[in-house]
Structure 1
């Protein structure tokens, strides 16, 4: 039985049926912008926004997606990686198989919206609610072209992007074993609404986190010689970590180590038994990340030993690899973008140290990540992702849906000459 909160406006839209010969990118965008279609996508996005769920807890989100897929007559496999979904639109033949991916999880919201989050401490501050709405919009468009598809389109609704490596879990379960290439869209607060951006090659960095507990011997500040001070050991270790960048990293390579927190005792005159600190480290290439990981461990353990303390270091279970755009798939997607929004609105993407678990997919198969702009000062869509004030201009939804659909259609059409 469908949960009451899931029962909201849904309609089979009365726009002209698209055929293989006439389904130009402009047709896709025009269809996605029709009032009923746009209202449907917006309602999905707002329902998800009101019920944000963190990694591997996306139960209501998953239920909503399954409801919409069933209404569209699209088969799916669930659960994948606990809450994820992989749906399939199979055309005139099963292969080739191309995947479109949307992440589902959330990250308290301060924006005063009529559809603001109803759960304290959680919000969709990275646009994943919009990603799901856009992919469902693409599913609707593609399902109407099902008989003309020259292969299979997989719709990947992924859990746990925000620090949980959900992409890796889906891959480990074999959910995408038959997929030849994958594409995704991410909202971008730096670009005007509807603009599109990406670049070939390494797009986003690799990332890991570390948490350290340094144990010493506590005591009174008046008798320091009877203690083994973990505060001093932690400070020495933190300062030494910075030298891994300034003295051991090629200045032409991009690497970062950041310590984000440090916690110790509570009294002014007492040396604590232990100190905890942690942070993140990043590299534009995955190999550099593992070099940093080894050296971080060595430096912290050595500095702890110098001060007669011991250190326990914990790293992320699944470090995020660099996100690398396959050049051929990038060129294909860019050509679709130009046809959709015009050459002037397609821009190169500046490489960033930010990480995305889409990198796990790019390690396994040709992959491409593009961003679509949501910046619109007139509606207040100006804040960065993960800001408590983050919001999007919902006019981006038709662009994202048409872009997804256009890339998938073009891949299947050109597959023989591509790979």
Structure 2
């Protein structure tokens, strides 16, 4: 009898040891993944996930596509979702893709990545530089897609543990063409209760994030005006109505809208960035075209109206006429990006659990804008920056021909995406917040 007890104890001990060793060696843990948030970064760093993210990022980078032209990028995303068995909708907003992971039942939470490139000639010499002249991923959207697909891989592996449904939004046309609005119009946010977005940046130390509750990025709009006079010989200006002088006065007067009419504690920007007109040294042209951008957190419509008034009335002072377009080339204004305070609190807790207490920095409001704001205008949203700064290497700012992505940061983005989605669903399910979903996906 004693011998049997010893043998039983020995076998039990060996079995427990084996299970512990397998658990520690394999990042693909089994069981309820929602109970092990510290595992997400380990999962994202595994060769299965990290190598695929790098491969995807480089392939997209080599083949950049502008807004609403992301057909090959979209095809790659769909092929990756097919490989891991994720259902999706396509097309949404021409090239967009929406994937679904989980129970197919409420609650629903969305993760968003933008896909489009910029009309920039890449100046970085490396093996996977852009193959398309004049086009480049100079804002990290290739990395954003790779990180969301990495998160999808993790979430799909543990889909049976999800207490709801994760919606993966791969958005086209973020760079000025309002892809978010078009996706919303085509049902991207149907039944979704909250949305999260991540943007890479070289302004924050590697592995840290920056965010804040409330307004984070400014609302943005554009304007274009044609000032028309009467052209003629430059040697006899008295016989002309000079639109160049009128345009010059208008540009200077527009600067007073911020310096003289705006509360110094309320940030606003009015920038004239385009002046076109004339093609000879001795000829006064018939017209001058100017254009630019405005940024504001508050009083956006009022600022638009004042821009229009200054242009038209200053033109009149100089005997010219002016027509003003506040949506040139169909560029509709974007609202400010405002982070929901409850989602921000949840985000801070999740990231600190995942990356450490010092990983979260308080972001300062920026005058840049983001198409994500359209999603966050409809439902609670949270947008954050993920740092990839490395003091031993130089990383140019966004929209630069020298822009690069630090690929070592990709697992951080994938882990944050997956962690936020799982934690959000877990908390919503625990509160019993179900929003009556009965339709088919």
TM-score range, shorter chain: over 0.9
- Matches of residues 190-209 of structure 1 in structure 2 within 5 Å? 190-209=203-222
1:362 aligns with 2:376: yes
Structure 1 length-normalised TM: 0.93
Secondary structure in structure 1 of the residue aligned to 2:150: helix
Runs of at least 5 residues in structure 2 that lack an aligned partner in the other structure: 1-25, 434-441
After superposition, what is the alpha-carbon deviation per residue over 1:359-404, rounded to whole angstroms, capped at 9, x for unaligned?
11111110001111111243x3421111110101101111100100
Q: Max radius of gyration: which structure?
A: 2
Q: Cα offset for 1:22?
A: 6.3
- Corresponding residue SS for 1:143: helix
Residues 189, 373 of structure 1: 8 Å contact kept: yes
| Residue 51 (structure 1) aligned with residue 37 (structure 2) | no
| SS of aligned partner of 1:29 | helix
List, as ranges, runs of 4+ consecutive aligned residues in structure 1 with deviation greater than 4 Å: 416-419
Pair 1:94-2:105 in alignment:
yes
The aligned counterpart of 1:66 is 78
Q: Following the alignment from structure 1 to structure 2, what is the Cα–Cα distance between the partners of residues 377 and 64?
A: 33
Query: Please, which moves more after superposition, 167-176 or 39-48?
Result: 167-176
After superposition, what is the alpha-carbon deviation per residue over 1:324-363, rounded to whole angstroms, capped at 9, x for unaligned?
0000001111111101111112111111000001111111
Aligned residues: 402
Look up the match of 1:137: 150
Q: What CA distance in whole angstroms lies between the structure 2 residues aligned with 1:243 and 1:418?
A: 53
Q: Is the 8 A contact 1:53 1:61 kept in 2?
A: yes
**Which residue is 1:262 aligned to?**
275
Match for residue 375 of structure 1?
389
Q: Given the alignment of the two structures, is residue 293 of structure 1 paired with residue 304 of structure 2, yes or no?
A: yes
Match of 1:400 in 2: 413
Pairwise CA distance, 1:266: 2.0
Cα distance in 2 for residues equivalent to 1:418 and 1:307: 66
Q: CA deviation at 1:283?
A: 0.3
Checking the alignment, whether the CA contact within 8 Å between 2:197 and 2:383 is kept in structure 1 is yes
Whole-angstrom CA distance in 1 between matches of 2:422 and 2:408 = 23
Q: In 2, are the aligned partners of 1:215 and 1:273 still within 8 Å (CA)? A: yes
- Correspondences of 1:6-405 after superposition (within 5 Å): 15-20=27-32, 23-91=35-103, 94-107=105-118, 108-285=121-298, 288-316=299-327, 317-378=331-392, 380-405=393-418
Instruction: Supply the distance in 2 between the matched residues of 1:138 and 1:19 (Cα, whole angstroms).
Output: 18
Helix, strand or coil for the counterpart of 1:250?
Answer: coil
Contact kept in structure 2, 1:187 and 1:371, CA below 8 Å: yes
Superposed displacement of residue 90, structure 1: 2.8
* 8 Å CA contact retained: 1:381, 1:392: no
1:18 & 1:302 partners in 2: Cα distance? 70
1:268-313 Cα distance to aligned partner (Å, 9 max, x none): 221101111111110023xx22111111111101111122211122
Root-mean-square deviation (CA, aligned residues, Å) is 1.5
Question: How many angstroms does 1:417 deviate by?
Answer: 4.3
Distance in 1, Cα, partners of 2:293 & 2:423: 39
How far did residue 238 of structure 1 move? 0.9
- Determine the C-alpha separation between the residues in 1 that align with 2:201 and 2:401: 16
Using the alignment, how far apart are the partners of 2:353 and 2:260 within structure 1? 47
Structure 1 segments unaligned to the other structure (5+ residues): 1-13
